[in-house]
């Protein structure tokens, strides 16, 4: 049983490595409960204005305008029950410099109604809003009807 589980784990890691190494922005169809079709390579999400200082990956990120870029790297450790392609890293960039990064949760259009309590931003736009008595800041980007959620601690 141990060898079988180890073989499955190695095969899964190899498959994820091949997907992450792909230089182009492609689409992956993976089967979870339903079919998931989201970009797997690097994805530019446009610019957002952060109205206040936040914490990103445990480090301070100053208020200001940032270009967002989703990397091909999945967030580690994997969350149980999640596909690696749906939990990745997003970089907060100013010019050519990466100022910070955080985990981004990717939600396909087919699943947005089951998790969103409010209407999503229009395709190609974003929304930045304070949550939970101004303790958290959420960046919600809708890029080609794929939704990207970034949750940051206000600080």
List the chain domain ranges.
2-154
DSSP letter for each residue of 36-62: EEEE-S-EEEEEEEE-S-EEETTEEE-
Distances, alpha carbon 79 to alpha carbons 45, 54, 87, in Å: 23, 23, 8
pLDDT-above-90 percentage for the chain:
55
Per-residue confidence at 115, pLDDT binned at 50, 70, 90? confident
CA distance 90 to 100: 9
The two structure tokens encoding residue 49: 């204005």
57 and 75 Cβ atoms separated by less than 8 Å: no
Mean pLDDT score of the chain: 79
Q: What is the mean pLDDT of residues 44-53?
A: 96
User: Which range, 27-31, 36-40, 91-95, has the best average confidence (pLDDT)?
Assistant: 91-95
What would the mean pLDDT of 1-23 be, rounded to a whole number? 39
Two tokens, residue 60: 């301070």
Residues making up the chain, counted from first to last? 155
Residue 94, number of CB atoms within 10 A of its CB = 14
Q: Per-residue pLDDT tens for 116-137?
A: 888 999 999 999 999 988 999 9
- The SS3 call for residue 5 is helix
Mean pLDDT of 139-152: 95
For residue 88, which of 125, 124, 141, 137 has the smallest C-alpha distance?
141
């Amino acid at each position: 049983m141990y060898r079988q589980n180890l073989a499955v784990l190695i095969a899964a890691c190899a498959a994820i490595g091949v997907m992450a190494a792909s230089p182009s922005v492609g689409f992956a169809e993976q089967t979870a409960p339903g079919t998931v079709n989201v970009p797997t390579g690097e994805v530019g999400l446009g610019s957002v204005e952060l109205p206040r200082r936040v914490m990103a990956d445990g480090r301070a990120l100053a208020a200001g305008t940032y270009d967002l870029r989703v990397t091909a790297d999945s967030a580690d450790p994997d969350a149980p029950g999640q596909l690696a392609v749906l939990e990745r890293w997003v970089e907060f960039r100013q010019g050519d410099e990466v100022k910070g990064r955080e985990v981004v949760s990717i939600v396909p259009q087919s699943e947005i109604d089951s998790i969103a309590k409010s209407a999503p931003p229009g395709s190609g736009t974003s929304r930045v809003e304070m949550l939970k008595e101004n303790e958290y800041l959420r960046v919600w980007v809708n890029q080609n009807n794929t939704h990207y959620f970034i949750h940051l601690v206000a600080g």
